[in-house]
Amino acid sequence: MTTVVKLFAVGKRYGRGPGGVQALSDVTLQIETGERVALVGANGCGKSTLLRLLHGLTQPSAGQVLADPALRQAMLFQRPQLLRLSVQTNLALGPWLAGTPWAEARAQALVALQRVGLLELAARNARHLSGGQQQRVALARAWALQPQVLLLDEPTASLDPQAKRDVEALIHEFAHQSPAMTLVFSSHNLGQVKRLASRVIYLEGGRVLADLPVHDFFNGTVLPTQYPAAHQFVKGETP
């Protein structure tokens, strides 16, 4: 495997002085091609900040983030950002901005919509879709870019149960049909982590307190002695 990204003693602070927030502290890790990495921990532990650093949306306050700028990346947020345009146009803009001719980009958008089962909504205003439909459109938009690295920030957190199942099934399908694609996602749904991840990184207070294969993370005979904070989180005892 080849390394997608390396972080060396990375810290991230928002604001200065006593009112500032230290979102990440001394994070050192690397992610390899094809890994399925879940970021878990309580709200405010640094998951979203770590994803934004991995995607280049923010820069570290300390340390280094080393990544290949040539890698195609896409990121989905908990609430997708869609323009007040048709669903097809929302999908076509990404490939077009990357250099694909407009007619070809619109054709690629239809293929991507068919991939997520929303082809019949191509002409609809994207802002008028349900939350689950918008997240599937966002996934289709990412898939249209054929990313080598896919980053997801709580992709099913605000969805109803059926929409959660639909979106998770699509993520699973994308990951397993593109084994060279690297997936990094945050989630509070530990069942989802078990189903999608091959590796789990547990954060608390902006620090990585456990970094384990998914089987070991959920194996109660390992966590209590070596990773007590992560063990408490798995048992639902972390505040």
What pLDDT is stored for residue 13 in this prediction?
95
* 217, 203 Cβ separation under 8 angstroms: no
Quickly count helices (H) and strands (E) in the chain.
Answer: 9, 9
Query: Is residue 124 included in any domain, yes or no?
Result: no
How is residue 49 annotated by DSSP? H
Q: What pLDDT is recorded for position 7?
A: 97
SS3 39: strand
Residue range 147-158, pLDDT digits in tens: 999 999 998 888
7: in domain: yes
Domain boundaries, position 172: 3-81+149-234
pLDDT of 104-114, one tens digit each? 999 999 999 99
pLDDT on residue 83: 92
Residue 127 lies in a domain: no
83: exposed, middle or buried (Cβ count in 10 Å: 0-12, 13-18, 19+): exposed
| pLDDT at res. 224 | 75
Instruction: Tell me how many domains the chain contains.
Output: 1
- Residues of the chain whose pLDDT is less than 70? 1, 220-223, 237-239
